[in-house]
Structure 1
Amino acid sequence: MIQVKWKSIIIYVLVLLLGISAALVLYFYQVFYKSHHFLPGVRIATINVGGYDQNGAADLLAAEFDYLSDTGISFNYRDYQYDTRLGDLVDSPDPRKIIVDVWEQERHRNLFSKVFNLDGAEAIEYPVKITYDAQKLKNMGSDWKEHLESECLNARLEIDPVKGLVVIPAKKGIQVDIQPTLAALPGEWQPAENINIKIAVQEIEPRIKESDLHGMGEISSFSTWYNPSQTDRSHNVALATRALNTTMVAAGEVFSFNKTVGPRLPEGGYRDAMVIVGDKFEQGLAGGICQVSSTLYNACLLAGLKITERHNHNLAVAYVPLGQDATVSYGTQDFCFQNNLGDPIYIWSQAGNGKVTMRIYGKLKYKQSIQVSHIVDQVIDFKEIRETKEDLPPGTTKIEQNGSPGYVVRSFRTFFGNDGNIVRQEQLARDNYRPLNRLVYVGPAESSQPGGEPPETEDPTHTSPEENEGGNAAEDGSDVELRG
């Protein structure tokens, strides 16, 4: 009897345990898999959504986003302040999409975590990243730049009619560093007091400081002349001259004309001016630049600087003596010199009213008595070329291009001592200039006209050749002033 009783008890207990287990399984199934509500402790963007269904959680989240969007943000640097709202900078979040994504993640959350957090004691966080509107950030950055950025200004020299040589102080530049500033913005949606962010800036130190220019004086000067009525060419000359002005060259540094002036492109403001291509005049970009480089070349010669690269034109030009020109062509031919003096030098340049002037400033102890000269070894006569031009009146001629001779020239630089005697002399170059042939257009033959040469007519628009940047050019007569 006792044995039967124990068997009954055991069976009863087993049935009871199975019932309880089944109930628990059913309960957890309903709670974890069939429930339409978030479990306790679930937080989305720090908002507790435990016990809410998806619709309720979405409404709760939407209200929270509206509240957080009003969070004030102040960007500041010194006295400048830019105020905005978080909502003005972000892409509006979609609460319902966020809820669906979190619901799916909850379905796959560890069962152990779910069972032991039914009281919600542990927060199950689902942060929501903030997505910023790129265009809005860009517009905000542009406002910062407009109000805060300033150009770095090197110290420079100016000539005052009364005070003489005056040093104009340098000024630091300010450049806004946008990315580090934006990195301080919140990355996730969460409650916050008004946000204050300091705008990151970089201070650009000037390369030339006042101390670099104190005690400087003019150690050489050279000027050339041009025709100011040729407006496009004059514009190019002035543009390149401005690019050179206030250039500082440190002791031992090599100066490059092309690097300093930069590419001569329409985007940079350069214009077409008359140039020679072959033996004919055509419009070409940046005509006149070589007058600027040639003027600087002569100023450098008179300052005693070491010339490291220089090229002569194919044709003789008139704004400098033979053998004293320096043609440039961006990417192929450059004019370079090395500052072989023991201290920095400073280039002051100016163009206007038909005159280009280059002055080299440095410590006055480097001022020398220097003379540049040349010897013509050979003169090469030009030829006259006649071409028939059908649109000319029969029996007439037009001078399209005046001729000029070619030369073989040696140039020299002579250094004199304080007593006027020659200290040393060096040959600078031996240059070959080809002749520019005279080009005459001839009208078609006129059968009724008696024999003899047709009369010549001259087109005044082609009597003033221009220089091109590549070195294949000649110009009309110009006065030259040498000082050094």
Structure 2
Amino acid sequence: MKKNAARRRQKRKKKLILGAVAGVLVVGALGTTLYFTVLKDVLGGKSNKIVVTDINGSEVSFEPEELAQQIDVPTFYDGITINGVSVGGKTKEEVKAQFASEMNKPVSEVVDVKFQVGNDLIPMGTDGLTLTSDIDQIIDKAYDYGRSSTLPGDEGLKDRYNTINNLKKNPVDFVSTYTLDTSAVDSLAHQALDPLEKEVVEAYASSFDLENLTFVIEESQEGFKVDVSKAIADTKERLNNSDYVCVVPVSTETIEPKTSAEFLRNYLGLVSTTTSTTSGNENRNTNIRLICESINGLVLQPGEQFDFNKHVGQRTEEKGFKMAHGIFNGDMRDELGGGICQANTMLYQSVTKADLQVDERKNHTIPSTYVDKGTDATVTWESPNFRFTNNTDYPIAIHAWYEDRHVSVEIYGRPLEDGVTIKLVGELVREIPPTGTTYVADSSLPVGQKQTVTSSRTGYDYKSYKVYYDKDGNEIRKEEYFPSHYPMRNAEVRVGVKGPDGTIYKMDPKTGKVDAPADVVNPTAPTNPETTPPSSETTPATTPETTPAETKPEEKPNPTPEGGGEGGGNGGEGGGGEGGGA
């Protein structure tokens, strides 16, 4: 029993000793830890590691310097793409070289505009368009991604790490864009679309069929209008919104012609005709025939002008014109092309009857007998001229011919309204009688001898009228037309003033009396005068005077059937040079 108690005391003693030893060990460990902690604080400062979460969700701690070194790399971060192309791990220089072609890419590889016209697609060119890329700025922006933070210090490093680390799950794509200067779009659109436009073509007369006396009518054609202005505006809007590959609908319009060929064939016809009888002079009739051949079948479109001298040209031997009577400075003489004015007068009258616009007309200086006074029309080279304009909305044609001493001119075109007809009528305003005789001393003639050089001629002033009649022949109205002035002419008599011994005596110019002794004066009757040759178209001179002091106004003559005509070739009436034709 005593042994058991001793054993229990011994066990309690061991436990106490073991407890004391354990306590000493714990205290020692705590002291050691405290020691090293204090030592570390004294030697190196307090620890400041940054704890971050990696892509797998695990926490990782880094020293600030270590973390900064890991994220501040001279290459693009993994997960960054430019225009869909990965650039991670590459330097900025490498990436710029990779995208260098973006800076110099041809406009045609970026811009593809097509105009939709109906079912057709018309490409627009790119010449003149200027394309600018922002790829350099995009590269800089992509490189700077994740390299800065709005947070300070270690928090900023942690924020950047998280941003960069997130790229591995969520890549970021940086897209470059182009800027296009659209100022050239206007011209490019016109180049593409203008060729599609067509002017409407009305049915028109291309010529006149002289065999059938009908117009040769060409068919009408539809017009096609493209709204280019709207196409330009729509294209610029698309391009300004960076829609560089697009189809732009274009508005168009089909324009129907107003006149059909069938209508013209049924509508156009004979409007007016004028005919007169010519003389029997072969040369004169040849000249008239040549004029008819020159104008026969001529078509004038609406608004076109006919100019006689421009169309016929100078009258020359090479063209076949002959010498025939024509007026030169108010006298009749042979001229190249004499007689052509008769054909021109027929044209003037038919043009007037067709109610066309006469622009220039001049009467002869001597009335023609193939038409009434006040209704003739002369031409010479180069003036006076005859010109008229087709002032209608339809073509006109001239049909002119010479046959069997008759010259005729017809006008074909639109009919006058409601069967209306027009006549050209002359009206006498006044007669202008000769005022006397002009005496001219002639030292080559002996005293007492007289020679009539030109006979006297009565002058006239005439009005003319276009008189309109309805289909029943009733006068509707009349319009004053071109006036005509036919100048009078005094007789001219040459008086001899040469005595037998050669003495030249004085003459009174008013009376023609020679101041010579009675035994010198030996009066003789005047020689035959050089009068205006009678013709079928000019008023012949009066009977030659027998007494120069007694000049009487001429009587209205009866024309003879032969002779020439008044002015109108290359020189003709009112001036020198070749020509003629009345």
Q: TM-score, normalised by structure 2?
A: 0.41
Structure number with greater Rg is 2
